[in-house]
Structure formats: C-alpha cells, structure tokens
C-alpha cells in the first residue's frame, strides 16, 4: 500500500470512529434531545406499558407543577417565572416577589392549599435576596386573578441568610391534619448547620397554613431549638410526599457522592447529616470530612439507600386502580443525574419499613427529572430540568 492510499484509509477509519462516538454520545448523554424530538412515545416497564406524551415544552429549568381545579396547571421555572399551562399553551403570570436566581436557587415549589376551591391560596417557595449578596429559602402565598398574583403574603423566611446557589430544599407537602411541611437544605457551604436546632438549615419544618407554628410541634418550648422544626439532620430534601391513607411522611434527599436516601420522617428525629452519611466526599472520594460513621445511635437510618446515585428530585405515590395493581401505592422517585424514575414498593412485614422491589422507569428517555406528581386524572406528570425542559404526562399503555 502506498503512502497516499495508507493515509486515505486512516482518514476513512477516523471518520467512521468519530461518527460512532457522536452517535454513542448522543444516545448516552443527550436523552433530552431524543425525547424532545418526539411529542409522544411508548415505554416498557416490568408490569405495564406506558404512553408518554409531551404536554408543554420550551420551559427553562421547570421546577414544580400544581393542578388547578379547572384542568389548567401551574408550572414554575427556576429563573423566576410562574406559568399557567392551558391545553399546551404557556402563559406567564405576574406579581411574583423579588427572586435571586443563581445555581440551584430561584423560583421553586408551587402547591395549592387543600381547600383551594374555597380560599384560592397558592403557595410558592423561592430564594430570597437580602440585598447584600446572600439568600434564604422563603415561603409565601397568593391568589390567582386572571394572569396575576394578588393578595401576596410572605409567610416564612429561614432565620439565616447565606451564600447563594446551593441546597435550598423547598419541597412542600400537606399532612392529613392540614399542616404544611417545608424542607430546607443545609445550604451547602457549612453542612454542620443541619445539626444545629437553632438554625433552619438542613431541616423539615411543620407550619400552619398561615406560616405560624403549630402548638404540638416537637420542639415548641425548647430553649435551644426553633419552634418550626419538625425533624433535622437532612442534607437536601427534594422529594416529599404524605401517604394519603396512613399519613406517613416520605422524603428523598441528596447524599454527597452516593448516599442518596429514602427516609420515613418522624417528629423530633435526627436523620444524621453530616455526622452520619452513606456517601463520600466529592473531591477525594473518601469519607466526607464531617462524617463520623455510617450509622450512629440516636440518629435515624434511611429506609433505603438509592444506589447507584440518583440525585433525587420529585416524589409521588401511585393512585390505586389506575395503572397495574402491582403499582398501587408504590413510590415514584425522580432522578436528576440518573435521568430515570425509581418505582419503589415499600412494605413492613416485620414491623419496620423496607423496600422490597425497585424498578427503573424511563431510563434516559426524558433526561434530568426534576418533579414527579400524580395529577387529578391519576396519571403521572413529569418535569425535566433543562434549558428547554418540558412537562410530560405518563398514562397506562393501551
């Protein structure tokens, strides 16, 4: 073979290998693009087929969805926008508070009051600036008048502002007795704050619907604890749901490298972070610098460690009788980095909870999953966390 033929052959092979790499890279790292090329598709699961349909697209890092009684939906975008989604049409809502959007911060949760049809209250969480470059997780409520928020009330701001960008928590859920649960992350830069009962960081709060403190909160009257705290030692809860029958509070929260957790949250309990962790330090991949052990007396172990890394966000409970009966009351835990949903069957045959089945759904088919909800129609609704994110509906396959 002469030199010209040799180099021609090398060039051809290089082109082939480059094409193979690009195709492989596209399928493994850009599921978002694949999903966004389709308005609907089917996906297989262990017990039932699923039909997945795009409800609305071109959403910039959407964070949460809530369902209005008239069939419309409210969707937040992290950069600081609230939208009404009406039959696929996206309409902007004005009247929001001042929001500092940076990193993981911005406009986050949206939830309706359990008695929304009688009082009209819509609840929001956001990263509130202090005017000096720092932020805090905040909670407020307002009513919807056309495409504007009115009667806005700021209900709660965590007690300490800190550097913006990380671990705001911000998930909301209503208990069966009408109390509002709200998560606040450890804010990232100083993890031991999660062990300080005089600091809201790294906690789950329990509030009345007006932001005041219920008299039966576990630390009410304690001199060295904040009254709003329900549980503590959390890194960053971003999946939160109350079981509609039992009232159990389930939460998924981020570990560091590994150590993502499913927790059953109970009043007054310490969930260990950062003294106890199943994860590792991001940089060194060794034991996290503030961690003393994987377990410790007096600190609650997770019900389940979500391995491999899920980066959990969004948590829902399947309504019985809609999908296959094998899914009834299963937990659906969304994953950001993992780009999948974990379907978890939780049981307590020995008097304590354990996950006895774990299935991956929609693996790499939609991209980073930010929120997972069950809608009024009992279907699953998913938000994808991308610059051109989308709202998707998942129904039983035909």
For the chain, what's the residue count?
Answer: 398
Quote the Cα angle for 265-270-275, to 5°. Answer: 130
Check residue 301 and report its DSSP letter: P
Alpha helices in the chain (DSSP H): 3-29, 31-36, 116-119
> Residues 294, 277: contact at Cβ < 8 Å?
yes
CA–CA separation, 61 and 373 (whole Å):
17
User: Taking the CB of residue 259, how many other CB atoms lie within 10 A of it?
Assistant: 23
Q: Is the peptide bond before 231 cis (omega within 30 degrees of 0)?
A: no
Residues whose CB is less than 8 angstroms from the CB of residue 219 and which lie 6 or more positions away in sequence, other chains included: 197, 225, 226, 227, 229, 268
User: Taking the CB of residue 125, how many other CB atoms lie within 10 A of it?
Assistant: 27
Q: Sheet harboring 73-77: ordered strands across?
A: 62-67, 73-77, 81-86, 89-93
Active-site residue identified among 167, 234, 254, 386:
167
E strands present in 273-368: 304-305, 312-317, 331-335, 340-347, 354-361
Please say if 61 is a catalytic residue.
no
CA–CA separation, 29 and 164 (whole Å):
28
Burial class of residue 115, CB neighbours in 10 A (0-12, 13-18, 19+):
exposed
Residues whose CB is less than 8 angstroms from the CB of residue 205 and which lie 6 or more positions away in sequence, other chains included: 156, 181, 182, 183, 184, 228, 229, 230
Residues whose CB is less than 8 angstroms from the CB of residue 37 and which lie 6 or more positions away in sequence, other chains included: none
Catalytic site positions: 167
């Amino acid at each position: 073979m002469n030199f010209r033929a040799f180099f021609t052959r090398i060039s051809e092979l290089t082109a082939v290998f480059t094409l193979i790499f690009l195709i492989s890279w596209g399928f493994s790292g850009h599921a978002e693009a694949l999903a966004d090329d389709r308005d609907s598709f089917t996906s297989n699961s262990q017990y039932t087929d699923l039909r997945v349909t795009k409800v609305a697209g071109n959403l910039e890092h959407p964070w949460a969805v809530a369902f209005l009684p008239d069939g419309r939906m409210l969707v937040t975008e992290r950069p600081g926008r609230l939208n009404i989604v009406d039959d696929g049409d996206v309409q902007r809502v004005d009247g929001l508070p001042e929001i500092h959007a940076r990193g993981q911060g911005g406009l986050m949760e949206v939830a309706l009051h359990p008695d929304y049809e009688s009082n009209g209250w819509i609840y929001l969480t956001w990263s509130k600036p202090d005017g000096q470059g720092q932020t805090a997780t905040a909670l407020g409520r307002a009513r919807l008048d056309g495409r504007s928020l009115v009667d806005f009330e700021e209900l709660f701001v965590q007690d300490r502002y800190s550097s913006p960008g990380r671990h705001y928590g911000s998930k909301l859920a209503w208990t069966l007795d009408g109390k509002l649960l709200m998560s606040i992350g450890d804010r990232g830069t100083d993890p031991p704050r999660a062990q300080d009962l005089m600091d809201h960081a790294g906690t789950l709060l329990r509030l009345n619907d007006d932001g005041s403190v219920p008299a039966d909160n576990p630390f009410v009257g304690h001199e060295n604890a904040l009254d709003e705290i329900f549980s503590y030692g959390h890194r960053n809860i971003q999946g939160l749901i109350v079981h509609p029958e039992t009232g159990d509070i389930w939460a998924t929260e981020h570990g560091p490298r590994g150590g993502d957790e499913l927790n059953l949250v109970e009043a007054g309990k310490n969930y260990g972070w950062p003294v106890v962790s199943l994860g590792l330090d991001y940089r060194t991949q060794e034991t996290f610098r503030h961690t003393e052990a994987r377990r410790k007396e007096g600190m609650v172990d997770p019900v389940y460690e979500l391995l491999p890394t899920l980066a959990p966000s969004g948590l829902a409970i399947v309504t019985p009788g809609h999908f296959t009966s094998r899914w009834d009351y299963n937990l659906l835990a969304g994953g950001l980095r993992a780009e999948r949903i974990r379907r978890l069957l939780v049981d307590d045959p020995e008097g304590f909870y354990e996950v006895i089945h774990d299935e991956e759904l929609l693996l790499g088919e939609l991209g980073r999953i930010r929120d997972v909800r069950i809608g009024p129609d009992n279907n699953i609704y998913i938000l994808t966390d991308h610059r051109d994110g989308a709202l998707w509906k998942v129904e039983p396959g035909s």
